[in-house]
Amino acid sequence: MIDRRTFIKAGTIGASVLSIGGLATAGGAGARTSGAINKPIVISTWDFGVAANRAAWAVLKNGGAALDAVEAGVRVPEADLSNLTVGKGGYPDRDGHVTLDACIMDDQGNCGSVAALEHIAHPISVARLVMEKTPHVMLVGDGALQFALQNGFEKEQLLTPKSEAAWKAWLKEGKYEPVVNIENKSFTTDKLPGNQYNHDTIGMLALDSDGNLSGACTTSGMAFKMRGRVGDSPIIGAGLYVDNEVGGATATGVGEEVIRTVGSFLVVELMRQGLSPRDACREAVERIIKKKPETAKEIQVGFLALNKQGEYGAFSLQKGFSYAVCDAQQQDLLVDGEHVF
Ligand code: ASP
């Protein structure tokens, strides 16, 4: 559970944070007014990002590397059995298998990824080993599991009684159809994938005290997805992208639309062109709307970005997307993100 957290609307963040940290609203949350780089800092998606950030902060505050921080951070929701969309305890696919997707990227442009990984509770750590120990970027399915077991990871049952019950209830409704809306009921923004009843991916970005950036992204993916479905989260450039010259970005929500727009790469490239993190995220969201205006009204996608100066921002299609921020001024900040619809 979250305690001591601060809940701030993005539209009003400037005034309260400004007085503490020299930050302003111009260009979105976390824009700087002075020339100083705001480091170290870690940001991550959703309210469970608050607890994850704390673990990352324990690394960053002691001068640790952003890469170590993001791995330590996202392992927290991966291990949290009450979290139904990340790691162990995540909702299964429509055949009852919990399949996990994750990726990680460092300041050197190195990256590692696993997709459709079963039986391993910490896919992010397997992704890091793919990056560090193999000549490849991505391992999937049985090959990813084999690699994990060879490297000392333990095989576990990831389906908890709670997630199994939710899956069985969903099956009983007789809807063995791929779902985009987890509830598969009439449209309400609250029940969209990625919104408050269906929190999904944790994406985390960190800038360490040496000024280096890294990112991590991990999820059990869309609930009751088709067997073999892989979303954006383990796809470098879609669910996560980091360029140490510019900044990093991560995504949550309906992964298909994020992949179609190569969303996180797009956000980083927009920042390279001079956009603030908030404006870059907004532009990427607008791209989804432009490509699929009708679909965009009925799904959730959110982007979160951090630049090389430690400025951050986010934007989503629908209301309900929040993100957590942790730096020297604030350890438990939860920001209610801006949205289009
Ligand atoms: N992006 C994830 C996926 O499509 C899920 C989410 O973040 O809502 O698998």
pLDDT digits (tens, 9 = 90+) for 242-267: 999 999 999 999 999 999 999 999 99
The pLDDT of residue 188 = 54
CB 254 within 8 A of CB 300: yes
Mean model confidence pLDDT for the chain:
87
Cα–Cα dist 49/55, whole Å:
10
Q: What is the largest CA-CA distance in the chain?
A: 58
What is the number of the ligand 1 atom nearest to the C-alpha of 220?
A: 9
DSSP-assigned states of every residue in 148-197: HHHTTPPP-----HHHHHHHHHHHHTT--S--SSTT-SS--GGGSTTSTT
What is the number of the ligand 1 atom nearest to the C-alpha of 101?
A: 9
Shortest-distance Cα residue to atom 9 of ligand 1: 221
Ligand 1 mutation target, pool 84, 252, 259, 260, most atoms within 8 A of CB: 252
Please, which pLDDT band fits residue 49 given cuts at 50, 70 and 90? very high
Please, which pLDDT band fits residue 23 given cuts at 50, 70 and 90? very low
Shortest-distance Cα residue to atom 6 of ligand 1: 253
Please, which pLDDT band fits residue 30 given cuts at 50, 70 and 90? low
Residue 134 pLDDT > 60 = yes
Residue 14 pLDDT > 50 = no
Distance 26 CA to ligand 1 centre (A): 29
| Residue 201 annotated as catalytic | yes
For the domain covering 65-320, report its CATH number. Answer: 3.60.20.30
Shortest-distance Cα residue to atom 8 of ligand 1: 253
- Measured in degrees and rounded to the nearest 5, phi and psi for residue 103 equal -150, 165
pTM: 0.89
Residue 197 pLDDT > 70 = no
Q: Which residues line ligand 1 (CB under 6 A)?
A: 193-194, 200-201, 219, 221-222, 231-233, 252-255
Cα–Cα dist 221/230, whole Å:
7
The residue annotated as part of the active site, out of 201, 218, 250, 261, is 201
Please, which pLDDT band fits residue 29 given cuts at 50, 70 and 90? low
Distance 16 CA to ligand 1 centre (A): 32
Question: How do residues 137-194 score in pLDDT, each as one tens digit?
Answer: 999 999 999 999 999 999 999 999 999 998 998 888 766 877 665 433 344 555 555 4
Residue 24 pLDDT > 50 = no
Shortest-distance Cα residue to atom 7 of ligand 1: 252
- The closest alpha carbon to 229, from 86, 77, 101, belongs to 101
Cα–Cα dist 192/155, whole Å:
32
Distance 73 CA to ligand 1 centre (A): 18
What is the number of the ligand 1 atom nearest to the C-alpha of 193?
A: 8
For the segment 24-36, the average pLDDT, to the nearest whole number, is: 52
Residue 196 pLDDT > 80 = no
